[in-house]
Structure 1
């Protein structure tokens, strides 16, 4: 697949707009074996409502519960598919670090520091004005890459969500929580696969941007395992 600056930009923009999480899943989640080292998490400290089939929950409240629960973890990894492109990402909440690898290239963000790498280049400090269109696109998108983190994206949820079913994911029972949320002026239909303690283990988000139907699926592949993300330079 040839990836130019426009391609990188729309993929990253779509990710930011549609990741009301970032998990690939379906309305019928597949049974999966627990990832090595996966551990149970502690429920959010706030008074989050108990999840049950048929229950409704305000999007803002849902987002708060998700953010609190996921930020309390040691770290997690996920794979995401956007417009047919699959990427993987690792998150370390304690160091505010994200690593993303896709056909377009790779990014590492640690706090305010950003490094990027295309499929044909070495690691370099992000440069939105680079003469290399892929490096420029990755560098521009890196400014918002943290917003594709399920824990961060959930903080922008609006609307009302309903528990429409149950399933299993990563060896845990999950609730299918469905709703429509407005994100940066875009209407997004979202289905989350949420554990009883509000950890998003998978999700599917659908919307339309620039006249194009966009679907993002994401699934967490490793949960509550510290991710050692280091500066490449």
Structure 2
């Protein structure tokens, strides 16, 4: 896949549009948590979050709020995301608002308000969306909104109605499969969420069409409630 400044922006826009979950908080968690995600029990959602049963419907805003609450006290998590055929690995550390991406075109690290990028042929540098290097410029665009693809952020903007259409398994945990159509940034997106009974998202799929092109993004949590070591590269 040929990736230039414009191409990188399209990939980023698709990722932001089609990945979905809610917002992490800075609340610390007990360091004794196991490194095996399947061994962890998630915090139960608030009492006003509806019980998930097959055939039940959930309002999108309610779903997003429950996801947000369920994922706020994680030590960290890692994910694998595929956008327009490009695979990206990501790490999220809620305790210091840190995100790290690794893509075929380069890498991104964001810690709070600080952003760094590294193309496949360069060293780490401070993000610069106006760089004359199109890859650095594209990565810098991605860095500016990397938090928006956090599977603990995007669901905060959910709308529409979702239906529990089945059950499955992720990371050794039972999950409910919720499907629905959401309006995001004026675009209709068909969404599928795989969530535990207490609303922790372990996978999402989004599909839409833009300018006559079908766009699909998948996101799969590969480590849940495991601290991610994300440090400043400079």
TM > 0.5: yes
Cα distance, 1:36 vs. partner?
4.4
Q: Aligned equivalents of 2:183 and 2:149: distance in 1?
A: 15
Q: Aligned equivalents of 1:63 and 1:21: distance in 2?
A: 7
CA contact (8 A) 2:21 2:67 kept: no
> Residue in 1 aligned with 2:186?
185
> Residue in 1 aligned with 2:10?
10
Task: Spell out the pairing of 1:155-170 with structure 2 (5 A cutoff).
Answer: 155-170=156-171
Q: Aligned equivalents of 1:8 and 1:147: distance in 2?
A: 15
Q: Which has the higher contact order (CA 8 A, sep 6+)?
A: 1
- For the aligned residue pairs, the C-alpha RMSD in angstroms reads 1.4
Cα distance, 1:45 vs. partner?
3.5
Q: Aligned equivalents of 1:164 and 1:2: distance in 2?
A: 37
Q: Aligned equivalents of 1:54 and 1:18: distance in 2?
A: 24
Cα deviation 1:121-175 (Å, max 9, x = unaligned):
1100000111100101111222111110111000010000000000111000000
> Residue in 1 aligned with 2:151?
150
> Residue in 1 aligned with 2:207?
206
> Residue in 2 aligned with 1:37?
36
Name which of structure 1's ranges 121-130 and 43-52 shifts more when overlaid on structure 2.
43-52
Cα distance, 1:69 vs. partner?
1.1
Query: TM-score, normalization: structure 2?
Result: 0.91
**Secondary structure of 2:153's aligned partner:** helix
Q: Aligned equivalents of 1:112 and 1:71: distance in 2?
A: 20
Q: Which runs of 5+ in 1 are unaligned?
A: 23-34
**Secondary structure of 2:99's aligned partner:** strand
CA contact (8 A) 1:46 1:65 kept: no
Give aligned pairs, total: 221
> Residue in 1 aligned with 2:108?
107
Moved over 3 A (4+): none
Cα distance, 1:37 vs. partner?
2.5
Query: TM-score, normalization: structure 1?
Result: 0.91
Cα deviation 1:63-92 (Å, max 9, x = unaligned):
011111112211100001111100000001
Name which of structure 1's ranges 139-148 and 114-123 shifts more when overlaid on structure 2.
139-148
Cα distance, 1:49 vs. partner?
0.8
Task: Spell out the pairing of 1:87-106 with structure 2 (5 A cutoff).
Answer: 87-106=88-107
Q: Aligned equivalents of 2:141 and 2:208: distance in 1?
A: 22
Cα deviation 1:176-233 (Å, max 9, x = unaligned):
0000001111110011110001011011110012321000011100000011111010
Q: Aligned equivalents of 1:86 and 1:106: distance in 2?
A: 12
> Residue in 1 aligned with 2:70?
69
Q: Aligned equivalents of 1:40 and 1:124: distance in 2?
A: 39
